[in-house]
Structure 1
Amino acid sequence: MKKGFTMTWSEWQVPPFISSVFFILGVLTLYWVTFTWLETWCHRRHVAIADDVLNAWYGVIYMLVFVFSMQTPILGRAIAWEFMNFQLIAVIFCAYFLNIHISGYFFPPIVLAYMVFNGSLRYWQSWGYAITLVAFFLVMNWIRVKFHDQRHAWLVYMGVGVAFGGVMWLWMKLKFHFSWATFQQEWLYLVIFELLLYAYVNMLTHDGELKVRLSRLASHDTLTQTQNFSAYTSAMKFLFRESSRTDQPLSMIMFDIDHFKQVNDTYGHSAGDAVLQQVAATVKSVLTNTDSKLKLYRTGGEEFNILLPNYDLSRTSQIATAIFEAVNRLTVTVGTQEIRVSLSIGVSTMLTADASPMDFYNRVDQNLYYAKQHGRKQITVA
């Protein structure tokens, strides 16, 4: 008869501590992979949810599922303390690394729900543990904000983790009456887990920040800090498809800086860069005051576009006029030179006859061309 396949210490010769390390790292890796997928999915579908909000809700739900599922098999048993280090790591991960802030009135129902689930309402030690755990979460939040950017942040992190970990394991010893040797061993394991967690998450975070910077470079114009042509193309395809599907209006503003080549030839390219930057900043200010969801795209040398989902031609014309007037009042100072700026603007809205985004784009471009050919410094709406 074949021997059954088992994953035990006697068969694999792997200490429980080593398997615990790999288990925790696996849980955290799964979190990052699934969150990255969810974040990408939301971005591609232009879901109106901030990354921080998504991170907070997903992080809390993920860790609550993790903690409750870990505790379920040992409910009411004398070894109900065995997975406490996993729970503490989950708390540290949410409070410190995800920087999730929970309002005070959420703590009582969460704590009560867990204590009812765990059958520990009648134990005074459990109440002491719960209060200490809430304080641990809040202190981890606080040191994250206060010390995160400082060189000795990891020392503060470890100091808080070691101190609170010792107190919480003391509560468990008082409740379950295990030996001091077990207490010291579990506390030491927690300290090692905290160190590994800090190193591992910092590695992932560094990699994530690098990806964010690369992604921003791929979708942003570094000179004007606007979205670039690639971002415009992606947004245009999505918004055109959504407008066709929902029959909601989609409008566009396209503008050029008048006589921009002359600015470069007369004052130099650094002056031209200054003009581009200040025009972009002025237009973004108008958009922010009007509708913070609207984005400015630099689609050419001195050409910019604005896509306006759910805006009809009348409302779009009002925004174009506000941009036109704001830039016409703009004077760019370069050294001792003062450069006056004006715009030519084309405005249109998507039509049912538009078979593709390019049909829509070409019509707006024709309106801009008309404004430039008929004296510049004007708006053409059609």
Structure 2
Amino acid sequence: MPDNTLEKIINNYLNINSAIITLVTIGLITIITIVAYSLERRISNSSPLYRRAAIHIVEGVILASSMIMLEKIFFILNKGSINNGWLYANAQLTILLYCMYLVRNKVTLLINLFMPLFYYQSMIFKRFDDKNLPLFITAYLFLIAIIIFIYIKTEKLQDNEWKYVGMQAQFGLAWWALIWTDHDFPAYEIFNMLVVFLIYMSIIRFCARKMQDTMMNYNDLKVQVNYDELTGVRNRANFDKTSKELFETYSKEAIPLTVTMFDIDHFKEFNDKYGHSIGDEVLKHVAHTMEREMFLTDTKGQLFRFGGEEFIIIFRGKNPSACIPIVSDLRNTLINTPLVLKNQRLDITISFGISELKLTDKDFDNLFNRVDQFLYDSKNSGRNHLTVEGVTYSFDDLNEKQ
């Protein structure tokens, strides 16, 4: 290899500015990934349109801000010069394409589609006098087709390494053809720029995978710490943490907070008669039925497994009288959906205790002890009962009144 060629590669690719831009790009990708994961967990397909739109707009703003930040850093490093612009361009292309894979929303799609019209500092109208205008239009239309294809087929592309790299190459080729129509450099340099872009993408993908694995491990650990392994609902540790936070908040506010506690009637008989594995199925059935019904009816309640066959539901902003029909409906749903195992129907009933946080409660334990006592009052009254602030009701009587 000639000395001048080696010197050119070192000057262009192996310098401090290249290292800084690469590290900045990785840092921006990290921030985008963390923010995107945090925001996307707050919405689902069933979320209101305005909520989804707001989060997608925020993600788009973060992407646009990252592009602007990268531009400012590049010009600072180059003292306002456009020298080594390939470095800045490849870094921006990497962020654009990565966000297409990571954040699949229409705001990100639109930014990718219209970015070619804004990436160059001169006015767009100056291109119209350029003799390369037909090439620009052709490359732009090709880029649009590639972007839309990636947007639609992201999951399938990520499952196939060769298709993934192939689409990256076509994305980079279309972009560098566009850049070539605006800048005076030899056409063969497009190949060099494309190779650098693919190297950038491989580095970013490696870092992103490591980061995603770390986040997944963190989420798994969070689930293990806060959720019951058997039933999947929040566990005792999560309840202890939540109860302290709620007491600090609601003891100072004029907003009601009601706690209900229930357990499964004659649960020991399920274990003794059918075995502990059937007992586990009973626990899961009760937990899943309750959680599903609360979600479908939007009760705003939080379900916890306190221990054994005991569960707790916390209702924010509701007083006990408002919780009585909710609890009755939950109990009726459980009665109407018996557990059937091996052609054996298992009818399950539950007993409840309900109480509201009072101004005289010095801590959450005062409320909890009261609820616990009301639960035992229900059980001592023959089970399948509900005790609210010391007054015990039969569910059958409540159903007749309703």
Q: Same fold per TM (> 0.5)? A: yes
Contact 1:132 1:168 in 2 (8 A): no
Aligned identity (percent) is: 23
Alignment-mate amino acid for residue 280 of structure 1: A
98, 103, 106: which one pairs with 1:99? 103
Worse-superposed segment, 233-242 or 161-170: 233-242
Distance 2:104 2:350 in 1: 45
Judge conservation of contact 1:35–1:55 (CA < 8 Å) in 2: no
**Please, what is the CA RMSD of the aligned residues?**
3.4
Matched to 2:281, the amino acid is: A
Match of 2:173 in 1: 166
Whole-angstrom distance in 1 between the partners of 2:120 and 2:245:
45
- 1:115-194 matched pairs, under 5 angstroms: 115=118, 118-122=121-125, 123-124=127-128, 135-148=145-158, 150=159, 152=160, 154-194=161-201
For residues 347-380 of structure 1, the C-alpha deviation after alignment (integer angstroms, 9 at most, x for no partner) is: 1111111221111111111111110111111011
**In 2, Cα distance between equivalents of 1:365 and 1:173:** 75
1:292: how far off? 6.2
* Displacement of 1:293: 4.1
Do 1:107 and 1:134's aligned partners in 2 also have CA atoms closer than 8 Å?
Answer: no
Pick closer, same or farther for the CA change 1:16–1:103 going to 2, 3 Å: closer
The partner residue of 1:257 within 237, 252, 264 is 264
1:380 pairs with 2:381:
no
TM-score using structure 2 length:
0.78
Which residues of structure 2 form unaligned runs of 5+? 1-9, 43-47, 390-402
The answer (yes or no) to whether the contact 1:294–1:308 under 8 Å persists in 2 is yes
Distance (Å, rounded) in 2 between the aligned partners of 1:67 and 1:23: 11
Deviation, 1:210, is: 1.8
- The question of whether the paired residues in 1 share the 8 Å contact of 2:256 and 2:317 is answered with yes
Which amino acid in structure 2 is aligned with residue 264 of structure 1?
N
Q: How many angstroms apart in 1 are the aligned matches of 2:245 and 2:137?
A: 52
**TM-score, normalised on structure 1?**
0.81
Structure-2 change in CA distance of 1:292 and 1:314 (3 Å): closer
AA of the residue aligned to 2:303? L
What is the alpha-carbon distance in structure 1 between the residues aligned to residue 357 and residue 348 of structure 2?
29
2:92 match? 87
SS in 1 for 2:353: strand
Structure 2 counterpart SS, 1:344: strand
Q: CA deviation at 1:238?
A: 2.4
Which residue matches 2:319?
Answer: 312
Q: Distance in 1 between matches of 2:194 and 2:269?
A: 72
SS at match of 1:295: strand
1:127 positional shift:
6.8
CA 1:252–1:132 in 2, change beyond 3 Å: closer, same or farther?
Answer: farther
Are 1:250 and 1:311, in contact at CA under 8 Å, matched by a contact in 2? yes
What CA deviation, in whole Å up to 9, does each residue of 1:65-117 have, x standing for no partner?
12113334659976566511111111122110x2331159x838993897298
Residues in 2 aligned to 1:119 and 1:70: alpha-carbon distance in whole angstroms? 18
Structure 1 residues 198 and 113 mapped into 2: Cα distance closer, same or farther (>3 Å)? Answer: closer
Structure 2: how far apart are the matches of 1:58 and 1:67?
Answer: 14
Contact 2:147-2:171 within 8 A present in 1 as well? no
1:228 aligns with 2:235: yes
